Structure 1
Amino acid sequence: MAPLPALFNPAVQAVTARAFSAPSWARPWRRSAGHPRIAVIGNCQATGVAQALRLLLPGAEVETILVAGLDRRFGHIDRLARHLSGADHVFSHFFPEGFIAGGNVHGLAERVPGLRLFPTILFSGFHPDLVHVGDEASLRLSRLVASPIGPYHSAVALAGFRRGLSVEATLRLYTGPVFEQLGYFDLWQASADYLLRTARDVGFGLDREFALWCRGGVFMHVINHPRLPVLGNIARRLAREAGYTPLDLPVERYAPDMLAAEPVWPVLPGIAERYGVAGSTLFKGDGRRTPPRLLDLADFVAESFALYARHRPADLTCTRVDSWEAMPGIRALFDGAA
């Protein structure tokens, strides 16, 4: 999936907000008798949505098409459109130009009548310390620096390393008062506003669903991987609004949460206390191919420092940590921990 900070880019937001042309919405969707053919296009979240649709609509043929492989598989947007011509419904995340020759999702919508956009879930409220390091603007995970558990880093750890702190001194900064000074608790509202605005931009408002998710506790594994109940809610709405009656069952009780096999970032105690949820300092690595590693906070920071030491300083770029360098108060906060 695309690195999160790039998806907050105003230029990408502006393209996302473009309305579909009237003709693309004017023609009716084809309807199969009891066995609809559905295509779900998107990032890693699309896999969970497709999985939920298969469960909620028994008999439906549901194909997952990942945006990361569009160019390799289809080569041109016209070929993708021809592939989709036999589908009764096409549900898609927004994707910009560059993933397939010939255009972006709006160009695909002009070729595929009735294509329905649904939102990517991005929310950093539970994990405000999580950042990417490296070429964030490239939209390519291969251009990011790896952490001990994947492309996810602690801003506090990176800043501590760049300020010359020891691991022990950096660990003293993982407290609620420090998080307050870093503005972490302000990220909840900013992240919620972004999520709800981008959902409305694609015609899929999530105000009600977001309130329910918040009442249920932590609903994200990391900032760009929602837990399965979230994806199940989206799948159920897509099915209902397409004219079907999905089974009335909680998807998470009957299907595995595939994104839980990937890295999981803890809700750190200083954050958890603020929001009234269970806290943890255990970081989980990717477990899709090998048994996942579990690291406590001290080990995660120590291994992060060791990785950073093998990189050139110019490689360790991060929008947030770079901005902290220009803030005397935050520089003093880190220097005072030495």
Structure 2
Amino acid sequence: MERWLVMSNCQTVGLANCLQAQAPDIVITPLDPGQFKARPWRVKLRMGSFDRLLIYPAIRQEVPKARLDRISTHVELPIITFRGYHPDLIYIFNRAKPLSGPISHYHSAIVFACYLQGISASDTLAYFNGHFFERCGYFDVWSGERDRLVAEFEAAGLNIRPYFRDWGRTTAFMYSYNHPRIQPLYDMASALLECQDLPTYRSDLIPHDNLANSAIFAVYPEIGESVGVHGRYEFRSAGNYRTIGLEEYIGRCFALYATLQVSDLEPFHEFRKQVEDIRALL
């Protein structure tokens, strides 16, 4: 019986469980960078016991001493990222380190832009409407994100086109930009096995959705309506089933930013133009 090691980002456990559910003749083990760093010596001793490594390439630089060379076969993994439901979600640096806010590291470009412009929290609320979202280009994100995601998987030899058509038919298939629900990971596992010329044993007994207990960013109702799902202004922090509404989310973001030096705050590189464009619209 073959033994596979799966190393990726926060999708590691869900993907490994989905692979295990569809490949009963293979032993699948998940390992994220945090687990390796907690007990590196123990993990390194086990590396030689695996036949195949399924790894997201960016993870290699996080575990340079993992002795991955002891595994003979390496398969590169893509990850599921998708901004179609959350075009307003951005990441912010504080003194060159990711800034954690009310909902993990997830921030709103509109909220941050309003804060930088000196607009009050109460007045910021008024910018959350379909007209302003349209001016921000938020309704134009979906198709480009779909094409990018499909292309990235095709570049890795995985065909998710037939599966993607079913995602999001009744609800958003992402909890945030980089946290998918379990069904896309289940389908990704099928595509991986197909790419390896192995049979898939699919059923309705899919694994537990472990990312459902992670940070969840709201699907704005106006955005949801434009892509055929029900949205609501509900945000939730990791490990907490109490949701907060838009007004509370904005207030808590403003309160956080007020404790910091504005000069220390900067959006991640890929979001800088977005924030500047929104500031120009305000």
Q: Out of 104, 111, 126, which is 2:85 matched to?
A: 126
Contact 1:283-1:300 within 8 A present in 2 as well: yes
Partner of 2:229: 277
Q: Out of 2, 7, 11, which is 1:45 matched to?
A: 11
Report deviation, 1:118.
2.4
Report deviation, 1:148.
0.6
Report deviation, 1:111.
5.9
Partner of 2:32: 66
Partner of 1:323: 273
Partner of 1:114: 73
Q: Out of 217, 242, 252, which is 1:303 matched to?
A: 252
The SS at the match of 1:150 is coil
Distance 2:7 2:59 in 1: 13
Distance 2:103 2:142 in 1: 24
Contact 1:49-1:231 within 8 A present in 2 as well: yes
Report deviation, 1:37.
1.7
Q: Out of 259, 264, 271, which is 2:216 matched to?
A: 264
Contact 1:39-1:87 within 8 A present in 2 as well: yes
Contact 2:158-2:192 within 8 A present in 1 as well: no
TM-score (norm 1): 0.74
Equivalent residue letter for 2:82? F
Identify which of structures 1 and 2 has the higher relative contact order when contacts are C-alpha pairs closer than 8 Å and 6+ apart.
2
Report deviation, 1:325.
6.5
Report deviation, 1:220.
0.4
Contact 1:126-1:220 within 8 A present in 2 as well: yes
Distance 1:156 1:128 in 2: 10
Structure 1, unmatched stretches of 5+, are 1-31
Report deviation, 1:117.
2.0
Bigger shift: residues 192-201 or 172-181: 192-201
Partner of 1:236: 190
The SS at the match of 1:172 is helix
Contact 2:221-2:232 within 8 A present in 1 as well: yes
Report deviation, 1:294.
1.2
Distance 1:135 1:305 in 2: 14
Report deviation, 1:135.
6.1
Report deviation, 1:241.
4.1
Distance 1:240 1:154 in 2: 38
Distance 2:170 2:274 in 1: 33
**Residues 181 and 251 (structure 1 numbering): CA distance in 2 closer, same or farther, change over 3 Å?**
farther
Q: How does 1:30-179 map to 2 (within 5 A)?
A: 32=1, 36-58=2-24, 60-70=26-36, 73-74=39-40, 83-95=46-58, 98-101=61-64, 108=68, 112-134=71-93, 143-179=97-133
* Paired residue total: 280
Partner of 1:206: 160
The SS at the match of 1:91 is strand
Distance 2:61 2:271 in 1: 28
Distance 2:272 2:252 in 1: 21
Equivalent residue letter for 2:91? H
Q: Out of 238, 256, 261, which is 1:286 matched to?
A: 238
**Residues 135 and 202 (structure 1 numbering): CA distance in 2 closer, same or farther, change over 3 Å?**
farther
The SS at the match of 1:44 is coil
Equivalent residue letter for 1:134? F
Contact 1:70-1:99 within 8 A present in 2 as well: no
CA offset digits 1:71-102 (Å, max 9, x no partner):
56447xxx85x743332332222226531336
TM-score (norm 2): 0.87
Distance 2:84 2:273 in 1: 19
The SS at the match of 1:168 is helix
Distance 1:147 1:256 in 2: 27
Identity %: 29
Distance 2:102 2:110 in 1: 15
Distance 1:93 1:200 in 2: 15
Contact 2:94-2:265 within 8 A present in 1 as well: no
The Cα RMSD (Å) is 2.7
Contact 2:9-2:59 within 8 A present in 1 as well: no
Contact 2:170-2:229 within 8 A present in 1 as well: no
Distance 1:325 1:37 in 2: 46
CA offset digits 1:216-263 (Å, max 9, x no partner):
5411011101100011112223334445434331344xx321001001
